[in-house]
Amino acid sequence: MPKANKISTVAVIGAGQMGTGISEVVAKHGHAALVYDLDKSRIRASIEASAGYFRRQVETGKMPGEAAEEAISRIKGAFSLQDLASADLVVEAVSENEGIKRKVFTDVCTVLKPDAILATNTSSLSITRLAASTDRPNRFIGIHFMNPVPVMKLVELVRGIGTDQETFATAKDFAQSIGKTVTVSEDFPAFIVNRVLIPMINEAIYTLYEGVGNVEAIDTGMKLGANHPMGPLELADFIGLDTCLSIMQVLHEGLADSKYRPCPLLVKYVEAGWLGRKAQRGFYDYRYVPARPTR
Ligand code: CAA
């Protein structure tokens, strides 16, 4: 069983926004990061983005050049599943779709060392249910990072019903070794942070839908009135409106309480493909600088 200090190679599956940030903090703190994605061009783009991140760290005086180059050299692309065989820990960070995640686990388990730990960065799905689709429910755990990963100090650790104590201790030590503070959540829909945060965002969208205020009024209200670094609609665009909707659906179905019903305006934006920053349009239109509210 790998202990935290024995975790030297971390495979990150999914080279999107979260996967890229995870490999950056992993490499920054001395572990090797293997970046895997079905789409090979995303692997290259992720590694390039991480190199850009480390070079900006040097330019702004936050990291010595040598340390940055070493960190860059610790991030490698994994262009076939077989390349993940050396991983001590795998962090799955593919899109928030249970079918896709299950397929990833089925495939990766065929190449992993028997004692490797398998972790998911799911923001809302049941860890116990995901664990059951693997060959190692005892070595399966939720390690939930926040976006932007290099900046946010927290990770939530979530045990499934079968996660053993050693896996939990190893994951906790690993999270601390990459500079994160750990909070522990029970395995209930959306865990702690998203259970509180996403209904707040959904309520902000209802506030917009019902005409209580426009985008600017709602975001200014919460930024200056509640000292949030971003207004809730700006934050929704940052997280991705499809992700916000899917978390509300998990809460609504999982807790069977109408207070979690997704706002119809959120559904409409997602149906339009206005998914937030990544689609250039959501509650703001990012094709303009500065971004313009869409309502
Ligand atoms: N990667 C790395 N560093 C980043 C970054 C990124 N993507 N974005 C910003 N930063 C860094 C900047 O380099 C800067 O660093 P220094 O202070 O060392 O100079 C710092 O963050 C602040 O950035 P900026 O000055 O550009 O901008 P800002 O002050 O407006 O802060 C922010 C940006 C940190 C994103 C801030 O607006 C914020 O904290 N927003 C809220 C984020 C949040 O709530 N995240 C959680 C979302 S929920 C979630 O992730 C869970 C889920 O499952 C959905």
pLDDT digits (tens, 9 = 90+) for 82-138: 999 999 999 999 988 999 999 999 999 999 999 999 999 999 999 999 999 999 999
Q: Identify the burial level of 245 via C-beta atoms within 10 angstroms of its C-beta, where 0-12 means exposed, 13-18 middle and 19 or more buried.
A: buried
CA-CA distance, 253 to 126, in Å (whole number)? Answer: 12
- Tell me if 214 CB under 6 Å of ligand 1: no
Distance (Å) from CA 25 to ligand 1 centroid: 14
High-pLDDT (> 70) share of the chain, %? 98
pLDDT surpasses 80 at 6 = no
Per-residue confidence band for 2, with pLDDT thresholds at 50, 70 and 90: very low
Domains parsed from the chain with CATH numbers: 9-185 (3.40.50.720), 193-287 (1.10.1040.10)
Please state the atom number of ligand 1 nearest to the C-alpha of residue 239. 54
pLDDT at position 177: 97
Which of 151, 230, 245, 284 is the pocket-test mutation for ligand 1 (most atoms within 8 Å of CB)?
151
pLDDT at position 188: 97
Q: Is the pTM of this model over 0.85?
A: yes
pLDDT at position 5: 58
- Tell me if 235 CB under 6 Å of ligand 1: yes
Distance (Å) from CA 149 to ligand 1 centroid: 8
To the nearest whole number, what is the mean pLDDT of the chain?
Answer: 96
- Tell me if 49 CB under 6 Å of ligand 1: no
- Tell me if 86 CB under 6 Å of ligand 1: no
